[in-house]
């Protein structure tokens, strides 16, 4: 949390308020915030009983006095010019348009930048919002008026509440303007072992299935809030594969097999090896690329995936191909580390040919 607050204090634009919600935490959160608030009256502490992430965000929305909002989690932080760029663009939009900007993946210790992601330039949110999350919550600035017309965050969701929120933004006629540069950091925290893949998939499925339908939670009448001809099942299978990657990584092999058998729209034998590639995602171990990370991936994580495919009955002669598509980036890095860039690149080219 100090990194988040310090990044606000370092902003080149100085006119902001920070409403920091302690959602029933019993750690030192309140003491830390009070210390900042005693030195800077732009920082305000809100204390409430535990209600979850959506409840905390809703409390902040209710108490905000500003016209535009940016949602930050405790480990998020901003580029120094972030708010300046946002404020510079606000005069060119109306209250019904969100501003989206890029973000930079950075390691938990803030020492290594992994890569940056820029938002898509499409102005309209429908229908693309029905198939994917708009972006990390802190990469989007939204007007308070638009938040209130949407109906706030859904406190019943245990995950994907931000996707649900942006879907409703689209259904009140919300549009998007992009700022083509990264303005915030996305800290890549290796906390995949604490994620509950079953809960995440259940939330994803719930949000996806109601996404193309008229939403009664929306508080204003808009022509965009209607039933759409869109088959949500088209995206559920890839999402299932992605969340299974988390579960298998954690060693929950039996639970992963059960989830696959209950939710997959296809038999295991109907999948091509490449279709399992999304098991390696930012949710699991996609950015574990240091030498020590590579060692951990192959000694601790790789065996879990091999066991999963063996037990679920995937074709024995195709398991190596499946594992290549899941771990190909890690194979490539391992070869470069072990044999150098020249020979390693030749070996990597050979692997691509073998498993294309």
Categorize the per-residue pLDDT at 192 as very low, low, confident or very high, splitting at 50, 70 and 90: low
Of 100-109, 305-314, 318-327, the range with the lowest mean pLDDT is 100-109
**What pLDDT is attached to residue 195?**
80
Quote the CA–CA distance of 171 and 297 in Å, as a whole number.
42
pLDDT value at position 93? 94
Tokens 């019904």 sit on residue = 96
Residue 268 forms part of a structural domain = yes
Q: Is the pLDDT of residue 330 over 90?
A: yes
Average pLDDT, the chain: 92
Q: What is the pLDDT of residue 2?
A: 82
Choose the most confident range, by mean pLDDT, from 46-50, 82-86, 126-130, 216-220: 82-86
pLDDT average, residue stretch 58-75 = 92
Are 27 and 103 found together in one domain?
yes
Residues 245-278 have pLDDT tens digits of 999 999 999 999 999 999 999 999 999 999 999 9
Answer yes or no: is pLDDT of 193 > 60: no
pLDDT digits (tens, 9 = 90+) for 28-38: 888 999 999 99
> Is 137 a residue whose pLDDT tops 80?
yes
Residues 185, 318, single domain; the answer is no
pLDDT at 297: 95
Over residues 11-23, the pLDDT tens digits come to: 999 999 999 999 8
Of 36-40, 189-193, 255-259, 323-327, which gets the smallest average pLDDT? 189-193
Instruction: Assess whether pLDDT exceeds 60 at residue 225.
Output: yes
Same domain flag for 202 and 240: no
Please give the pLDDT value at position 339. 94
**Confidence bin at 84 (pLDDT 50/70/90):** very high
- Between residues 287 and 254, which one has the greater pLDDT? 254
159 in a structural domain: yes
Domain end position, chosen among 210, 245, 277: 210
44 forms beta bridges with 19
Main-chain dihedrals φ then ψ at residue 22, nearest 5 degrees: -90, 105
Confidence of residue 191 (pLDDT cuts 50, 70, 90): low
Domain boundary pick from 177, 210, 243? 210
pLDDT of residue 176: 95
| 155 and 290 inside one domain | no
Lowest mean pLDDT of 99-113, 137-151, 156-170, 323-337, name the range. 99-113
Exposed/middle/buried for 272, CB within 10 Å: 0-12, 13-18, 19+?
exposed
Q: Are residues 184 and 242 in the same domain?
A: no
Q: pTM of this prediction?
A: 0.88
Q: Say how many domains are in the chain.
A: 2
The confidence score (pLDDT) of residue 300 equals 94
The reported pLDDT for the residue numbered 219 is: 83
- At residue 181, the 3 state secondary structure works out as strand
- Asked whether residue 310 falls in the same domain as residue 275, the answer is yes
CATH code for the domain in which residue 57 is found: 3.90.550.10
Q: Which domain holds residue 32?
A: 2-210
Chain CA centroid to CA 230, Å: 23
Confidence band (pLDDT; 50, 70, 90) for 190?
low
In this structure, which long-range contacts are made by residues 27-34, counting pairs with CB atoms below 8 Å and at least 24 apart in sequence?
29/1, 32/1, 32/2, 33/1, 33/5
């Amino acid at each position: 949390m100090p990194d988040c607050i310090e990044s606000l204090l370092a902003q080149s634009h100085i006119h902001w308020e920070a409403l920091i919600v302690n959602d029933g935490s019993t750690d030192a959160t309140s003491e830390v915030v009070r210390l900042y608030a005693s030195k800077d009256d732009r920082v305000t502490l809100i204390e409430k009983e535990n209600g979850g992430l959506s409840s905390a965000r809703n409390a902040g929305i209710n108490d905000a006095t500003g016209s535009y909002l940016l949602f930050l989690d405790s480990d998020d932080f901003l580029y120094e010019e972030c708010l300046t760029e946002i404020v510079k663009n606000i005069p060119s939009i109306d209250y019904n348009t969100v501003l989206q900007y890029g973000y930079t993946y950075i390691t938990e210790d803030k020492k290594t930048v992994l890569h940056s992601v820029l938002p898509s330039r499409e102005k309209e949110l429908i229908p693309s919002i029905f198939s994917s999350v708009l972006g990390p919550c802190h990469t989007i600035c939204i007007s308070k008026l638009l938040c209130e017309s949407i109906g706030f965050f859904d406190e019943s969701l245990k995950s994907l509440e931000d996707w649900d929120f942006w879907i409703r933004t689209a259904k009140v006629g919300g549009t998007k303007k992009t700022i083509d540069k990264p303005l915030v950091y996305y800290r890549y925290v290796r906390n995949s072992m604490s994620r509950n893949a079953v809960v995440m998939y259940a939330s994803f499925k719930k949000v996806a299935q109601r996404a193309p339908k008229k939403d009664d939670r929306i508080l204003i009448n808009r022509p965009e809030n209607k039933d759409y001809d869109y088959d949500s099942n088209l995206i559920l299978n890839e999402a299932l594969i992605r969340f299974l990657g988390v579960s298998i990584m954690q060693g929950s092999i039996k639970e992963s097999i059960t989830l696959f058998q209950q939710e997959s729209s296809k038999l295991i034998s109907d999948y091509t090896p490449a279709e399992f590639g999304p098991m390696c995602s930012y949710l699991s171990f996609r950015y574990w690329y240091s030498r020590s990370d590579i060692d951990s991936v192959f000694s601790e994580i790789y065996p879990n995936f091999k066991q999963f495919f063996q037990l679920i009955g995937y074709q024995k002669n195709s398991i190596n191909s499946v594992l290549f598509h899941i771990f190909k980036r890690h194979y490539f890095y391992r070869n470069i580390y072990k044999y150098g860039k020249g020979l390693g690149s030749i070996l990597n080219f050979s692997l691509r040919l073998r498993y294309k």
